[in-house]
Structure 1
Amino acid sequence: MRVVSLVPSLTEAVAVTLPGVLVGATDWCTHPPGLDVPRVGGTKYPDLERVLALRPDLVLLNVEENRRVDADALTAAGVPVRVTYPRTVPEALAELADLLAALGAAEEPAWLRTARRAWADPPRLTPARRAVVPVWRRPWVVLGADTFAGDVLRRLGVRNAYEGHPERYPRPDLAALREAGPELVVLPDEPYRFTATDGPEAFPGTPCALLSGRHLTWYGPSLAEAPAVLADQLARPVTHPA
């Protein structure tokens, strides 16, 4: 089996579980560190000629990270694709188990078993906090309904103020975000790289938790440590002076 992954989460999952299977990955596939496979461009705009030149038996994609046009082009070229779309932690764990078994894993890897245990009873903020969760700036984009990251946060005691919004990624302006009355602002470091000096100043007086985007949005080996990492970061918010 020769696999090209266009999804950083799945690249890591396959590389650490079945390293001989992975023959190509995107430029954004940064884990595991030191991954040495041919690169095929970005997640949104991969170089399909490079992908095809690797003669893959399967290409891994995700509904949110990759484009339908690329999936269609690969299919038209005769290359099978597997498209993932987990929107909850249990869905992610199930999809990972199914994928690795399909690729030839004889049993679930230790990291996946650890992830199942970690998410069976994760640490939670007490009391739960009402939050807004920007994932982009200029313009502001926040988590809305039915997202994987939203489910991760809900399980950790974060109540998303926009979870009932009809859009999965609403674009309220800054005034609307402030008027939503958050008790907490969650600022991940990807896809937009929010930092202590880029983000909290927009919400003076409101605690802002700076989170690891990899642990918040990736579904792979990082799931095993995500509850502990994110709970620690949620418990140490920073507040810009009002």
Structure 2
Amino acid sequence: MMSRLLCLIALCWLTWPVHAWSAVSLVDDRGVQVTLPQSPQRIVSMLPSLTETVCALHACERLVGVDAYSNWPVSVQALPRVGGLEDANVERIVALKPDLVLLAKSARVTDRLEALGLKVLTLEPRSMKDMERVLGQLGRVLDSEAEATTLWQQIDGGLNRAVAALPAEARGKRVYFEVSSGPYAASESSFIGETLARLGAANVVPGSLGPFPKLNPEFVVRADPQVIMVGDRNAVALAGRPGWERIDAVKSGRICVFTPAQGDVLARPGPRMAEGATIMANCLKDKFK
């Protein structure tokens, strides 16, 4: 009797469906094919949006180090810091013994890390289509493809809800969104510009200039936006720019100044994009009540 029971248990074990990891090969944003023999368990993330995406895919515990600016979710603030795009601490990254380093395409340290034998994957989403693609790639890397699909559906659904909540009188306004001093702006082709478009806003910076172009301040004066969206660090300098006192948004006081925390949400193409859309929608509703 016991031997029959043991045989039945063994048979069930052998026929039970087992998910086996297969090596993943994908092309990163450099156009380089990267092959991972197994799902990485020790990850260093060098871009805040990638850090947030890894955590949103329930893999925060795999992070062993992050860049200087990753601060969400709160748990990542306790992780070792390894610098940023321009000042990555290579020695510290190597000491963390990662089996994968996630980097922006623009990072300067990529070649050096690869020369030291580290596996590198560069992903730098700049549009919504990029974000959906990167989410799918990270889903494959983390063996969380179903979660990645669900997360994108949640992001897209949240964007739709922000759009639906915006009253008609707040739509169709000319908007200038400044991402940093320079000034650098978010154009129509950036994920920020795409969000504004979904909200029915008219971005005064054309996509033909690139996602985040540096502008001549006179360009903004000529474009004469009805609303200016800007972070609190850059808002102070607006009044001192020649000719900006003639801009409709400045004359009418329609300047939305975002806190640093809001700025992080708005500037990162990641799992909080719907929250960013809500922040922009609230700005428009407030200025055109």
Query: Which TM-score band applies after superposition, normalised by the shorter structure?
Result: 0.7 to 0.9
- Superposed CA RMSD: 2.7
What does residue 92 of structure 2 align with?
50
TM-score by length of 2: 0.69
Q: Secondary structure at the match of 2:109?
A: helix
Deviation at 1:167, TM superposition (A): 4.2
Task: Give 1:135's match in structure 2, choosing from 179, 188, 203.
Answer: 179
Q: Secondary structure at the match of 1:209?
A: strand
User: Over residues 175-232 of structure 1, what are the superposed CA-to-partner deviations in whole Å (9 max), with x where a residue is unaligned?
Assistant: 331121212222145xxx334x553675531422234322322122312423223211
Whole-angstrom CA distance in 2 between matches of 1:165 and 1:41: 32
Structure 1, gaps ≥5 residues long: none
Task: Give 1:209's match in structure 2, choosing from 256, 260, 280.
Answer: 256
What does residue 143 of structure 2 align with?
104
What does residue 74 of structure 2 align with?
33
Highest Rg: 1 or 2?
2
Identity of aligned residues (%): 27
Deviation at 1:2, TM superposition (A): 1.0
What does residue 233 of structure 1 align with?
283
Structure 2, gaps ≥5 residues long: 1-40
**Are residue 174 (structure 1) and residue 213 (structure 2) matched?**
no
**Structure with greater helix percent:** 2
Rate the CA distance shift 1:208–1:101 in 2: closer, same or farther, 3 A. Answer: same
Deviation at 1:52, TM superposition (A): 1.1
Task: Give 1:114's match in structure 2, choosing from 139, 154, 157.
Answer: 154
Matched letter for residue 219 of structure 2: A
Matched-pair contact (CA < 8 Å) for 2:126–2:211: no
Rate the CA distance shift 1:104–1:167 in 2: closer, same or farther, 3 A. Answer: closer
Rate the CA distance shift 1:125–1:176 in 2: closer, same or farther, 3 A. Answer: farther
Matched length: 230
Whole-angstrom CA distance in 2 between matches of 1:167 and 1:112: 25
User: Over residues 136-186 of structure 1, what are the superposed CA-to-partner deviations in whole Å (9 max), with x where a residue is unaligned?
Assistant: 23x322233532222222222222212144344433333331121212222
User: Over residues 25-52 of structure 1, what are the superposed CA-to-partner deviations in whole Å (9 max), with x where a residue is unaligned?
Assistant: 0121111114221111123321011111
Matched-pair contact (CA < 8 Å) for 2:176–2:227: yes
TM-score by length of 1: 0.81
